Structure 1
Amino acid sequence: MLEKSARMSTDRNVLEESELEWIHLLLMARDAGLSVEEVRQFLRHANMEEPAIRNLA
């Protein structure tokens, strides 16, 4: 049981790190003047393995 608890704690820490990275990236995008829709569009194209930067221009 202790092992499962430790694993869950590790998973939660990884999730928190990932969330912090996303927040940091979104703040950088905002500071660069990108709208929420532009960020969504970028992520959508990035997920489809397209050159997303070109699509924002």
Structure 2
Amino acid sequence: MKDYKGLQYIVFATQIGINIALPIAGGMYIGAYMDQKFSTGSAFLISGTLLGVFF
């Protein structure tokens, strides 16, 4: 049997990175879209980023 421990650690680290980065990037994207749509400056961008950080 081959030892896949190293690969398992890489996959685990990648999953953690994606689970952290995806909500933040999604909040930023949606916030920027809402700011552009409603012409609110950067209010939605900041709130979307903070929501992404805390979720």
Q: If the length of structure 1 is used for normalisation, what is the TM-score?
A: 0.47
The one of the two structures with greater contact order (alpha-carbon pairs below 8 A, sep at least 6) is 2
User: Which is higher, the Rg of structure 1 or of structure 2?
Assistant: 2
Q: If the length of structure 2 is used for normalisation, what is the TM-score?
A: 0.48
